[in-house]
Amino acid sequence: MNTLQHYLTLLKFALRGNQGFYEAREYLANVLIEELEEFIDLGGKKVLDIGGERGEFCKVLAQKKHCQAINLEPQKLDYFHKTVRGTADKLPFKDRVFDLVLLRGVLQHIPTAQKLKSLREMHRVLKNGGIAYIMIPPWWSPLSGQNIKPFQYFGFSLAKHFSNAIMGRKIKAKNLAELGLWPMTFRSTLRYIDRAGFKILKTTDILGRMNFLTRIPIIRELLNSVGFILQK
Q: Is the pLDDT reported for residue 8 higher than 80?
A: yes
Cβ-Cβ contacts under 8 Å for 12 (sequence gap 6 or more): 20
Which pLDDT score, from 0 to 100, does residue 60 have? 93
Q: What are the backbone dihedrals phi and psi of residue 74, each rounded to the nearest 5 degrees, phi first?
A: -60, -30
pLDDT tens-digit profile of 98-124?
999 999 999 999 999 999 999 999 999
CB of 177 within 8 A of CB of 148? no
How does residue 9 score in pLDDT terms, banded at 50, 70 and 90? Answer: confident
**8-state DSSP, 87:** B
Summary mean pLDDT of the chain = 93
Q: For residues 230 and 15, which has the higher predicted lDDT (pLDDT)? A: 230
Distance from C-alpha of 174 to C-alpha of 200, rounded to nearest angstrom: 36
pLDDT tens-digit profile of 186-199?
999 999 999 999 99
CB of 204 within 8 A of CB of 224? no
Average pLDDT of 25-48?
93
pLDDT tens-digit profile of 62-83?
999 999 999 999 988 777 888 9
| Residue-range domain boundaries for the chain | 3-137+183-231, 145-181
Q: Is the pTM of this model over 0.75?
A: yes
Distance from C-alpha of 216 to C-alpha of 232, rounded to nearest angstrom: 25
Which pLDDT score, from 0 to 100, does residue 1 have? 58
pLDDT tens-digit profile of 207-222?
899 999 999 999 999 9
Superfamily the domain 3-137+183-231 falls into: Vaccinia Virus protein VP39 (3.40.50.150)
